[in-house]
Structure 1
Amino acid sequence: MTLQLVQVNFKARDDAALGRFWAEALGWGVSSEGPGVTNLEPVGFDWPDPSVVCIDLVRVPDPEAVQYRAHIELATTSDAHRTELVARLRELGATPAAVDGGDAPRTVMADPEGNLFSVLEPREIHRDTGPIAAVVVDCADPRAMVRFWGEAIDWTVHELTDDRALLRSVQGVGPYLEFRRPPDDEVVWSRLHLDVMSDPVEDQAREVARLESLGAVRTDVGQGDVSWAVLTDPEGNEFCVLGRG
Structure 2
Amino acid sequence: MYLENLVFDAADPGRLGRFWEAALGGERLTDEAAGFETRLAIEGGPVLDLCFQPVAQPSSEPPRLHLDLAGGSGQSAVVERLLGLGARPLDIGQGDVQWVVLADPEGNPCCVMEDREAYADTGPIAALPLECADPDSAAEFWSWLTGWTEVAGVAPRSLRHPSLRGPLLELCQERTTKAAAKNGLHLDVRLESQDDPDAVAAEILERGGRELVAEWGDLPWRSFHDPSGNEFCVLPARS
TM-score category, normalised to shorter length: 0.7 to 0.9
SS of the residue corresponding to residue 220 of structure 2 reads coil
Shift of 1:65: 5.5
Q: Report if aligned partners of 1:52, 1:175 keep a CA contact under 8 Å in 2.
A: no
- Give the match for residue 204 of structure 2: 211
Does 2:151 correspond to 1:153?
A: no
Counterparts of residues 13-32 of structure 1 (less than 5 Å): 13-32=11-30
Gap runs ≥5 in structure 1: none
Counterparts of residues 1-245 of structure 1 (less than 5 Å): 3-32=1-30, 34-42=32-40, 45=41, 50-64=45-59, 68-78=63-73, 81-99=74-92, 105-159=98-152, 164-181=156-173, 183=175, 191-200=184-193, 203-243=196-236
Residues 1:67 and 1:35: Cα distance change in structure 2 (over 3 Å):
farther
CA distance in 2, matches of 1:212, 1:201: 20
Shift of 1:29: 2.0
Residues 1:114 and 1:5: Cα distance change in structure 2 (over 3 Å):
same
Shift of 1:53: 2.6
CA distance in 2, matches of 1:36, 1:184: 33
SS of the residue corresponding to residue 53 of structure 1 reads strand
The CA deviation string for residues 189-228 of structure 1, in whole angstroms up to 9 with x for no partner, is 9611111112228643432232222121111251321111
- Identity among equivalent pairs (%): 35
CA distance in 2, matches of 1:129, 1:59: 29
CA distance in 2, matches of 1:102, 1:152: 35
Shift of 1:85: 0.9
Amino acid at match of 1:210: E
Gap runs ≥5 in structure 2: none
The CA deviation string for residues 13-44 of structure 1, in whole angstroms up to 9 with x for no partner, is 010000010011111122217532111114xx
Amino acid at match of 1:53: L
Q: For this pair of structures, how many residues does the alignment match?
A: 234
The CA RMSD over aligned residues, in Å, is: 3.0
CA distance in 1, matches of 2:224, 2:192: 18
Shift of 1:103: 11
Greater CA drift, 207-216 or 64-73: 64-73
Residues 1:220 and 1:101: Cα distance change in structure 2 (over 3 Å):
farther
TM-score, L = length of structure 2: 0.86
Shift of 1:77: 3.9
Greater CA drift, 9-18 or 135-144: 135-144
TM-score, L = length of structure 1: 0.84
SS of the residue corresponding to residue 170 of structure 2 reads strand
Q: Report if aligned partners of 1:19, 1:39 keep a CA contact under 8 Å in 2.
A: yes
Shift of 1:183: 4.9
Amino acid at match of 1:27: G
